[in-house]
Amino acid sequence: MAMMRLRREDPRVVGSFKLHRRLGAGGMGVVYLGSDKRGQRVALKVIRPDLAEDQEFRSRFAREVSAARRIRGGCTARLVAADLDADRPWFATQYVPGPSLHDKVHEGGPLPPAQVAAIGAALAEGLVAVHEAGVVHRDLKPSNILLSPKGPRIIDFGIAWATGASTLTHVGTAVGSPGFLAPEQVRGAVVQPATDVFSLGATLAYAATGDSPFGQGSSEVMLYRVVHEEAQLHLVPPALAPIVQACLAKAAETRPTTLQLSLRLKEIAAREARGLPDATEQAPAPRPAARRAAEPARRRPGRPPRAA
């Protein structure tokens, strides 16, 4: 992950953590690399000063922390500490070393099918834990996936929806990243675990091709394509295309579950790593000459068999 020097306006200490570098900034605030007295490194998000007095943003920030606390599993960054009552609310999660999936593909090109399937299987398994906690991420995309030495990690639950939490968006307002969010998000409908499955499908397509399956364009154009046009998967390797297409179904109820997705992607990863063909594919029909050779000899009509 790229790091930047602290700016003059950046704090040097937050809570019990010393800040060392900037890791990035987004709509809600700035993320820093910090450490505690024991040297444990954390990614610490601090809400922007101009938003600290906004109750809507405070509620959203509190929901992000609540979501992080509810999730158990190895595919997300573990929550370390938080202070929602501070003048500038903040929370710290375990620091995950490694590039984002977006940066990895942007700098090195599309990943091989076996690696895409392995990453997808781990993410799908992680989403099982996320959804069991009653949380829907709602913004799963390549830049929110870090490739650590121990496997991919899902980060940034800033717009996550948790069971029992009221929505902070209005009907018809899309929340998420165009090209990676599901049709129901564009329509302002209720999100569900299948919403993250759609986003994961788009993310896997990006990992395998280097582009969104809905191409490029303005936000309006991308949102229209997500709802009304089919994903362009002609560049997705054949081993991955069927499962990616299933994830990108317009109707949420027809998408695979995260458990089904994890199992299927594990199978694909193992098969691709060994260079084996898909067991579900039919063997090609034998060529005419081979088929004739395999048939028993036939006597021509009207002629008796030759005597020995």
Q: Are residues 119 and 252 in the same domain?
A: yes
- 94, 121, 148: which is the final residue of a domain? 94
Torsion of CA 115, 116, 119, 121, to 10 degrees: -110
Q: Are residues 252 and 188 in the same domain?
A: yes
State the Cα–Cα distance between residues 44 and 227, nearest whole angstrom. 35
Dihedral over Cα of 193, 198, 202, 207: its sign: positive
pLDDT for res 282: 40
Q: Are residues 121 and 270 in the same domain?
A: yes
User: Contact at 8 Å (CB) between 219 and 179?
Assistant: no
Q: Which one is catalytic: 50, 87, 139, 278?
A: 139
- 53, 79, 94: which is the final residue of a domain? 94
> In whole angstroms, how far apart are CA 31 and each of 139, 196, 298?
17, 24, 79
Range with the poorest average pLDDT among 29-38, 230-239, 294-303: 294-303
pLDDT tens track for 51-92: 888 888 788 778 778 877 878 776 888 889 999 889 999 989
In a domain, 243, yes or no: yes
Residue whose pair of structure tokens reads 């992950």 in the numeric block: 1
State the Cα–Cα distance between residues 122 and 118, nearest whole angstrom. 6
Which residues are within 8 A (CB) of 62 and not within 5 positions of it... i.e. 6 or more apart? Answer: 84, 89
In a domain, 306, yes or no: no
In a domain, 5, yes or no: no
Q: Are residues 160 and 257 in the same domain?
A: yes
Q: Are residues 123 and 169 in the same domain?
A: yes
Q: Are residues 258 and 127 in the same domain?
A: yes
pLDDT tens track for 107-138: 999 999 999 999 999 999 999 988 988 888 88
Q: Are residues 54 and 151 in the same domain?
A: no
Q: Are residues 59 and 111 in the same domain?
A: no
Q: Are residues 84 and 223 in the same domain?
A: no
pLDDT for res 196: 95
Number of domains forming the structure of the chain: 2
In a domain, 135, yes or no: yes
Angle at which helices 101-108 and 193-209 cross, to 10°: 20
In a domain, 6, yes or no: no
Q: Are residues 157 and 219 in the same domain?
A: yes
In a domain, 295, yes or no: no
- 39, 59, 94: which is the final residue of a domain? 94
Q: Are residues 204 and 270 in the same domain?
A: yes
Q: What is the mean pLDDT of residues 1-16?
A: 89
Q: What is the mean pLDDT of residues 217-230?
A: 93
In a domain, 307, yes or no: no
Name the range with the highest mean pLDDT among 43-57, 131-145, 154-168, 223-237: 223-237
pLDDT for res 160: 56
In a domain, 285, yes or no: no
Q: What is the CATH number of the domain that holds 60?
A: 3.30.200.20
User: Contact at 8 Å (CB) between 247 and 127?
Assistant: no
Q: What is the CATH number of the domain that holds 239?
A: 1.10.510.10
Q: Are residues 87 and 207 in the same domain?
A: no
Answer yes or no: 211 catalytic.
no
Share of the chain above pLDDT 70, in %: 82
For residue 59, give the nearest of 169, 140, 139 by alpha carbon.
169
Please give the model's pTM, rounded to 2 decimal places. 0.79
Neighbouring C-beta atoms of residue 37, cutoff 10 Å: 8
Q: Which domain holds residue 262?
A: 101-274
